[in-house]
């Protein structure tokens, strides 16, 4: 049986000071800010920028076109999506159909949450398993599918 093996590991990554990456991880063409931690089994794709003092837990997937602010927490299994299947299926490499995602500072994304192309302001908590389908323009706690405002952060 023939197969094609492709190993990425880490390629073209810009590291800030005191960054920790636990292997195995798959990071390429991204930027990691100072004091950021990346757990095992994480993929961070090109054109991703992660700010300072962030923590990316195991099994997270951060696709192209994502910007994460400072002091953010991305929990286990959180997924970011840049292709909304706008034409009924995958964009098949047509990146003009993709959208970008921006997280402000002090944003926590819960375990197994899914974040579609959106903007999220500072000081937001996304609950475990939530699916964020729209911009979040007010600080607070959000949960559910689709994610909805639950309460203010005190």
CATH 2.160.10.10, domain 10-151, yes or no: yes
Answer whether 130's CB lies under 8 Å from 94's CB.
no
Of the ranges 1-10, 22-31, 79-88, the best mean pLDDT one: 22-31
Mean pLDDT of the chain: 95
Q: Which pLDDT tens digit goes with each residue over 49-107?
A: 999 999 999 999 999 999 999 999 999 999 999 998 888 888 887 888 999 999 999 99
The pLDDT-based confidence of 5 (bands split at 50, 70, 90) is: low
Token duo for residue 108: 């926590």
pLDDT of 118 over the 70 cut: yes
How far is Cα 46 from Cα 117, in angstroms, rounded to an integer? Answer: 16
Q: Which residues of 96-121 are buried (b: 16+ CB within 10 A; e: fewer)?
A: eebeebbbbbbbbbbbbbbbbbbebb
Domain layout of the chain by residue ranges: 10-151
Answer whether 67's CB lies under 8 Å from 101's CB.
yes
For position 154, what pLDDT does the model report?
78
């Amino acid at each position: 049986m023939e197969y094609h093996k492709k190993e990425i590991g880490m390629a073209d990554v810009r590291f800030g000071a005191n960054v920790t990456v636990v292997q195995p991880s798959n990071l390429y063409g991204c930027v990691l800010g100072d004091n950021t931690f990346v757990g095992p089994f994480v993929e961070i794709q090109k054109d991703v920028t992660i700010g300072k003092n962030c923590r990316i837990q195991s099994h997270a997937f951060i696709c192209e076109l994502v910007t994460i602010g400072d002091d953010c927490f991305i929990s286990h299994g959180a997924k970011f999506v840049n292709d909304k299947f706008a034409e009924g299926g995958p964009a098949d490499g047509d990146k003009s159909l993709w959208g970008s995602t921006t997280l402000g500072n002090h944003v926590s994304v819960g375990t197994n949450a899914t974040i579609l192309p959106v903007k999220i302001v500072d000081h937001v908590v996304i609950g475990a398993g939530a699916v964020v389908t729209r911009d979040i323009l007010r600080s607070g706690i959000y949960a559910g599918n689709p994610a909805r405002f639950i309460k203010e952060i005190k």
